[in-house]
Amino acid sequence: MEGNKVNNLDFNLREWLSNGFTEKGALIWYQVIDDPKVAAGYKNLGFTPLEAKEWVNSGIASAKVAYQWRS
Q: Which domain holds residue 49?
A: 3-70
Residue 42, pLDDT above cutoff 50 = yes
Compute the distance between CA of residue 34 and CA of residue 16 in angstroms, rounded to an integer. 10
- What is the distance of C-alpha 1 from the center of its chain? 19
Residue 21 contacts residue 2 (beta carbons within 8 Å): no
DSSP element (H, E) containing 5: strand 3-6
Structural domain tally of the chain?
1
Tally Cβ neighbours within 10 Å of residue 37.
Answer: 13
Q: Quote the pTM value.
A: 0.83
> In 3-state terms, what secondary structure has residue 2?
coil
Q: Indicate the pLDDT class of residue 8, thresholds 50, 70 and 90.
A: very low
